[in-house]
Copies of this chain bind each other. A is one copy, B any other.
Amino acid sequence: MSPIGFEKHDHTHCIASALQVAETTCSEQGIQLTPARRRTFEILLQEHRAMGAYEVLEHLRASGHGSQPPVAYRALDFLVKHGFVHRIERLNAFIACAHPGERHAPCFLICRNCETVAEAPARPAADALSVSAADMGFKVERVAIEAEGLCPACVETAA
């Protein structure tokens, strides 16, 4: 049981399902979900929270993969590039995508107290942004929207 969004659930199912989607997507697009990349994705799916690259690396090492930073960074870069994993700029960390397969603009809600991260829809916000950017002549390719605050559980504790 780990938090996703801010609700608890058993995510045994979503791990299997996300891996399935990733494999299908990769074979469709002719890209390779190699053992190292797949294992990296599994690690993030199992923990189901934002993890630093070095933390991921420890798990990779324990699984018999390389133990040097580039091993983790390359796998993470691949997963981010293809949308299976998101990078949380605010935390210099990575988290498995909560909506694999769907084309979406992600937005993250980061609790400053417990560091839990939830993924929320950002389509309206991202659209609003693209319009004003276009007015300035800027061509948007990627948008990162990250909100910091208190998650429901921590709001309650604080009160």
Contact = CB atoms under 8 A, between A and B. Distances in A.
Interface of A: 5-6, 89-90, 107, 109, 111-112, 118, 120-122, 124-126, 128-130, 132-133, 136-152, 155
Contacts of A133: 109, 120, 147, 149
A148 B139 CA distance: 8
B137 A152 contact: yes
B124 A152 contact: no
A146 B109 contact: no
Contacts of A142: 147-149
Question: How many monomers of this protein are in the complex?
Answer: 2
Nearest to A132: B120
Interface centre among A111, A144, A147 (most CB of B within 10 A): A147
Given A138-B6, A141-B112, A147 B118 contact: no
B155 A150 contact: no
A134 to B, nearest CB: 10
Given A6-B138, A109-B140, A137-B155, A125 B149 contact: no
Contacts of A141: 112, 147-150
Task: List the 10 closest A-B pairs by CB distance, nearest first.
Answer: A137-B152, A89-B89, A125-B125, A141-B149, A124-B128, A125-B128, A140-B149, A142-B148, A139-B150, A109-B138
Given A89-B89, A130-B147, 5 more contacts: A109-B138, A111-B138, A141-B149, A144-B146, A144-B147
A145 B143 contact: yes
A115 to B, nearest CB: 13
